[in-house]
Amino acid sequence: MIHPPEVSNLDVLSEALRRRTFAVISHPDAGKSTLTEALLLHAHAIDKAGAVHGKAGRRGTVSDWMAMEQARGISVTSAAIQFDYRDTVINLVDTPGHADFSEDTFRVLSAVDAAVMLVDASKGLEVQTMKLFDVCRQRGLPVITVINKWDRPGEDALALMDEIRARTGLIPTPLTWPVGISGDFRGVLDRRSGDYVRYTRTPGGATAAVEDRFSPADAETAEGDAWVTASEESSLLRVEGQDHDEARFLAGETTPVLFCAAVLNFGVQQLLETLVESAPPAEARADIAGRRRPVNAAFSGFVFKVQSGMNAAHRDHVAFVRVCSGVFHRGMVVTHAASGRPFATKYAQQMFGQERKTADEAWPGDVVGLINAASLRVGDSLYDQDPVEFPPMPLFAPEHFRVAHPADSSKHKQFRRGIDQLDHEGVIQVMRSELRGDQAPVLGAVGPMQFEVVEDRMTHDFGAAIRLEALPYQLARRTDRESAEILGHDRQVEVLLRSDGTLLALFSTPWRLRNTVRDHPELTLEDLATGSTAVPTDY
């Protein structure tokens, strides 16, 4: 057994204070992956941005490493990226941009300490952004708001502030204010110093934009009415009490706001500075009983994602572990809370999108990739010395259902292995029944695009192409054995066993569910998210 070297409490506390672990949340097409590249560029973690829009030779972004992501221009899986900026270690956990992958995004938000809410200047707060913001609010995550695409025509800046306040309940406290209306982005007024930061674009936005600072007097000479308007609007915000207050931000009462054009790398440096200066460091996290485990306690962490196919040459899979306390040393033997068994961490790596490097140690706030960790599942806790178990990851209620069949019946083993692996990763929910048999599992998804990921990965990762047959069900309810006996006689209801041992009753329509509850009020039919037995009334 490998015993980790002694580390002082002061070392752990010091390293935890250096960490900033956050996720970017947004509606699809708000520019999330482009912003990720721009942050890496300004931190000198890469020397050229991958998202050079409008160029025939456009490269894939660091965070969107899957072939499907690069082909479609959207994020469909989360990715962990660590880089240094000044004396701070930044852990950026990228999230899927599409609503169909909300479950993966929820898991990511359980592993971070803050969120950057990216808003398209022309569209304001969109549906998916608000859903993800609600998750942040439930988890008590401080939120930094970034208004993106100010280089394009869009809404009025003050109107956007009113919308943020009305729809989120947070008071927007801009740290920068745009000079020039949307579509005419010249620079920003730095509201903390009063200076004007003017941007000069670089060819294709592939390198960091040039920034020049001017005093207010020089700014008025250079920009005229645009500077005067920005100054007057900034003064109005100050009169309204919309200046940044760190304590209120961390308490979830306010949201700092910055303006940027990520594709041009305008305003990105200011976001990095804000993350370093204002975002919270790694702090004590609550366990399943609500007890907070100090960051300087013995090592602990939890798995928030499992991903295979990241290394095509080896077909391995990676368990992403958020370090919650103590120091992680590669090779240490920890305890797997779910089984009580020892778990060796011989192969541990830090991730930079798809790229990896050996992780000899990691501190609270860091994300470590444990390679070939076949026994680990999403939500599992790991610890050294003092036992701890962190809250489990909830499964979302599936709303779309397909029966999976192997396209080639001779590839039964590959088919079974692939389905089981995707279930293990949480890519899809897998249900079976004696009636359908093991060769025809039912797949449940939050959104239909999840099935596209399943088809793509079954073909390319496991060499077992599949056919999917749609089922006429719209919602699922948790049930029990006694209720299943009665439900099994209804043609518009099907009872299946999910891989975690949960019995699910699938209903063709909310109307069918209401009628079933009316005719058999004694049945157990619980909402998967709330545990409630209430039936839908909005149909």
Contact assessment for residue 292 and residue 280, using Cβ atoms and an 8 Å cutoff: no
CA 90 – CA 19 distance, rounded (Å)? 6
CA 259 – CA 257 distance, rounded (Å)? 7
Helix (H) or strand (E) holding 135: helix 127-139
Return the number of other C-beta atoms located less than 10 Å from residue 77's C-beta: 22
Q: Is 96 annotated as a binding residue?
A: yes
Strand partners, 496: 504
Three-state DSSP class for 311?
A: coil
Contact assessment for residue 512 and residue 473, using Cβ atoms and an 8 Å cutoff: no
Residue type, 18: R
CA 301 – CA 363 distance, rounded (Å)? 10
CA 344 – CA 203 distance, rounded (Å)? 49
Task: Measure CA 340 to chain center.
Answer: 29
Pull the structure tokens for residue 175.
């740290």
Q: Is 97 annotated as a binding residue?
A: yes
CA 320 – CA 303 distance, rounded (Å)? 6
Nearest to 117 by CA among 211, 238, 252: 252
CA 151 – CA 199 distance, rounded (Å)? 11
Return all residues near 462 (Cβ < 8 A) that are at least 6 apart: 414, 415, 417, 418, 421
CA 295 – CA 10 distance, rounded (Å)? 11
Q: In the chain, helix, strand, coil percent, each to 5?
A: 30, 30, 40
Three-state DSSP class for 177?
A: strand
Phi, psi of 470 (to 5 degrees): -70, 140
Q: Is 392 annotated as a binding residue?
A: no
Give 7-27 as a 3 state SS string.
Answer: CCHHHHHHHHHHEEEEEEEEC
Q: Is 95 annotated as a binding residue?
A: yes
Pull the structure tokens for residue 195.
């200076």
Strand partners, 443: 402, 430
Residue type, 516: T
Contact assessment for residue 301 and residue 322, using Cβ atoms and an 8 Å cutoff: yes
Please report, in range form, the residues annotated as the binding site for GTP: 94-98
Please report, in range form, the residues annotated as the binding site: 94-98
